[in-house]
Amino acid sequence: MAQVQISDVIVPSEFTQYQFENSMVNTAMFQSGVVLPNGEMQAQLNAGAQSFTVPFWADLSDTEADITTDVLATLSTPQKIGAAEMIVRKSFLHASWSEMSLASELSGSSALERIQSRVLAYWDRQWEKRLIASLMGVLYSNVANNGGDMTTDIHLTGGGSPTVVNLLNGAAVINTALTLGDRLNDMKMIAMHSHVYSYALINDEITFFKPSVNSLDIPTYKGMGVIVDDSLVTSTAGVYITVLFGPGAVGFAVAPPRTGFGTEIWRVPSAGNGGGSTTLHSRFDLAIHPLGFAWTNASVASVSPTQAELALAANWTRAYSQRKSVPIAFLISN
């Protein structure tokens, strides 16, 4: 006799593939083009080891061109192109959710079905939190090691109450973009805390753009798409981080684990004195990496870095020799 089983509601292999395919595009940063799937990172993700190397060619130097002559013996000295590498750290992640069968029985609806409908949203939030933690690590590394050349700091120090010069303002944002010099127009997205976003709304600096008839309005600030995320805070109360991005500023790769199962459903019939329980396990291997920086692995306690460890300056160092090559800039404000 045919029976409807839990595996008919959630088919593990199909569910994992669904999570994998949709996690690449679901958050605002992914939709904006700030975070782009990186083919090299994706290829390396399923290999062994905790980290991998992504080599890159440096740009040609701006050495002045030769002045040609008609002297046969005068030979030009060829220049060379340099190469460097970025070390990318993998993260091996797992989450699980459990339901007691009696609880679903009494509620009249399936807790497990509700859980599976929200798993994708959970992982989307995890990707964004780990991305922001990585960006914070890059910021702190830049301040510690590169003289803060990617950063503008207008927050109030020394006590007192912040004034308008310490809050998000057009001049400060432009100065932040100018840390890229003549490449300031590369900045296409700006991510800010909701508290900071409120100042822009109050000052009527947010313009809403509707890309198509059926789409939601997209907020913009000085031509840059706006992303609002309350993870953009510092360890000091009332001090916030606003991040400006160019397209493809962050590389991304995600995949189900190479061994084992991306999704597992575990049933314990005897739990709850025979009422039974069901647990949904979800696993992913992940690499999120701000391009232009290398992971140093200086302070990691376990196999994968935590969000707190991603935010440590000691775990990042700039791999690109030129600041202009990194399309990321930071504004620190109240």
Give the model's pLDDT for residue 293: 92
The rounded percent of the chain whose pLDDT value lies above 70 is 81
Give the model's pLDDT for residue 174: 94
Tokens of 59: 């740009």
| 279 residue type, one letter | T
The rounded percent of the chain whose pLDDT value lies above 90 is 27
**What's the whole-number mean pLDDT along residues 159-171?**
90
Which of 125, 127, 116, 126 lies closest to 15, judged by CA?
Answer: 116
Contact 90, 51 (CB under 8 A): yes
The span from the CA of 268 to the CA of 205, in Å, is 55
For residue 55, pLDDT beyond 90: no
**What's the whole-number mean pLDDT along residues 276-298?**
88
The span from the CA of 23 to the CA of 61, in Å, is 39
For residue 143, pLDDT beyond 70: yes
Tokens of 273: 């004195």
**What's the whole-number mean pLDDT along residues 325-329?**
91
Give the model's pLDDT for residue 129: 87
Q: How far is CA 74 from CA 68, 78, 79, 300, in A?
A: 9, 13, 16, 55
CA torsion sign for 8, 12, 13, 15 is positive
Give the model's pLDDT for residue 214: 67
Contact 52, 85 (CB under 8 A): no
Query: Who's near 164: CB < 8 A, 6+ residues apart?
Result: none
Which residue blocks in 169-298 are alpha helix, DSSP H?
170-177, 194-202
Contacts of 323-326 with C-beta under 8 Å, sequence gap 24+, read 323/146, 323/149, 323/150, 323/179, 323/180, 324/180, 324/181, 324/182, 324/183, 325/59, 325/292, 326/150, 326/249, 326/290, 326/291, 326/292, 326/293
Give the model's pLDDT for residue 307: 92
CA torsion sign for 126, 87, 56, 178 is positive
Tokens of 299: 């302070």
Give the model's pLDDT for residue 61: 66
For residue 6, pLDDT beyond 80: no
Tokens of 157: 């120090």
**What's the whole-number mean pLDDT along residues 292-316?**
92
What DSSP character marks residue 87?
E
The span from the CA of 93 to the CA of 42, in Å, is 16
For residue 25, pLDDT beyond 50: no
Greater model confidence, 106 or 287: 287
- The confidence band for 108, taking pLDDT boundaries of 50, 70 and 90, is low
For residue 176, pLDDT beyond 90: yes
**What's the whole-number mean pLDDT along residues 263-288?**
85
- The confidence band for 41, taking pLDDT boundaries of 50, 70 and 90, is confident
What DSSP character marks residue 233?
B
In degrees, rounded to 5, the angle at the alpha carbon of residue 307 between the alpha carbons of residues 301 and 308 is 65
Q: Find where tokens 């200086």 sit.
A: 298
Torsion angle of alpha carbons 141, 285, 307, 232, nearest 10°?
Answer: 80
Q: How far is CA 217 from CA 29, 209, 263, in A?
A: 16, 5, 35
Contact 278, 101 (CB under 8 A): yes
**Average per-residue pLDDT in the chain?**
81
For residue 18, pLDDT beyond 60: no
| 271 residue type, one letter | A
Give the model's pLDDT for residue 278: 83
For residue 22, pLDDT beyond 60: no
Q: Find where tokens 């400006």 sit.
A: 244
Give the model's pLDDT for residue 140: 95
Backbone phi, psi, residue 278, to 5°:
-130, 135
For residue 122, pLDDT beyond 60: yes
**What's the whole-number mean pLDDT along residues 163-182?**
93
**What's the whole-number mean pLDDT along residues 162-190?**
91
